[in-house]
Amino acid sequence: MNALRILDISQPLGERTAVWPGDQPCRITWTMARTAGAAVNVAALTMSAHTGTHTDGPFHCDDVGARPASLGLEAFIGPAAVVDARGRRALDTDVIEHVDLAVAERLLFRTRERTDTTTFPHIFAPLTPALARRLVEAGVKLVGTDAPSVDPFDSKTMDVHRILGDHGIAIVENLVLDAVTPGRYTLIALPLKLVEADSSPVRAVLLPA
C-alpha cells in the first residue's frame, strides 16, 4: 500500500518562532537533563497561546466566549479548500467567487509567496467584514490563513474575529501553505484541551481529498 501523503501546514515552534509584537516569546528550558545525571530529558515550555499555528478561541474577543477545552472539534476536522489569495492587500468577497462553498466547509487562504516563521510580517492581507459575513451566510465552519490575523494589524474592534466568532466559525492563523497547491483536501487541526486559555496552538495537516 502507498503511504498516506500528509502535508504539514504548521509553523515549527521554538525560540526563533516569531510572535505578535509585545506577546510572550517562546522559551524552552530543561527541568531534567541526562547530561546532568537525570534518568530522562524533560523540557519546560513557556509561550503565548497564539504562538505559531493556532486557533483563536471565542474568549479571545469575548469575555463570555468558550475556552479551548470546551470547543467542539467538528470544525477542525473535515473537507477543506485551499484558496490562492496571493497578491491581495485584503481578502474581499471576490476571492471566493470560484469556490464551491457547498462543498468547501473549511477555507484556507494562502496570502503569501513564502512564509518566514522567524520574522513577524507587519504587512499582511486580512479578511474584510464583507467576506466574513459572506462566509457566515454560506455556512462555512472554519477559516484559516497564513497571515498572523484575520483582522488588520492595527485593528482595535476586531470586526472579522467577532463576526466569525459570533456565528461559531473557527479561526486558524499562521498556517504554512507555501508547498500546498490550491484545491480540495481534508483538514485536521485540533486544538489542545486548555481549560483557562483564550486560544490554543494546533498541529495542522492536510490529507488528499
Active-site residue list? 60
Could you tell me which of 85, 89, 49, 51 has the C-alpha nearest to residue 68?
49
Instruction: Report residue 160 as a C-alpha cell.
Output: 472579522
Query: CA separation (Å) from 65 to 60, 153, 173, 187, 205?
Result: 8, 22, 18, 24, 26
Backbone angles phi, psi at 68, to 5 degrees: -55, -40
Asked if 104 and 80 touch (Cβ cutoff 8 Å), the reply is yes
Specify the DSSP element, H or E, that contains 79. strand 77-84
3-state percent helix, strand, coil for the chain, nearest multiple of 5: 15, 25, 60
The residues pairing with 29 across neighbouring beta strands, listed in sequence order, are 44
Q: E strand or H helix at 143, and its extent?
A: strand 142-145
Give the Cβ contact number of residue 146 at 10 Å. Answer: 28
Phi and psi at residue 144, in whole multiples of 5°?
Answer: -125, 155
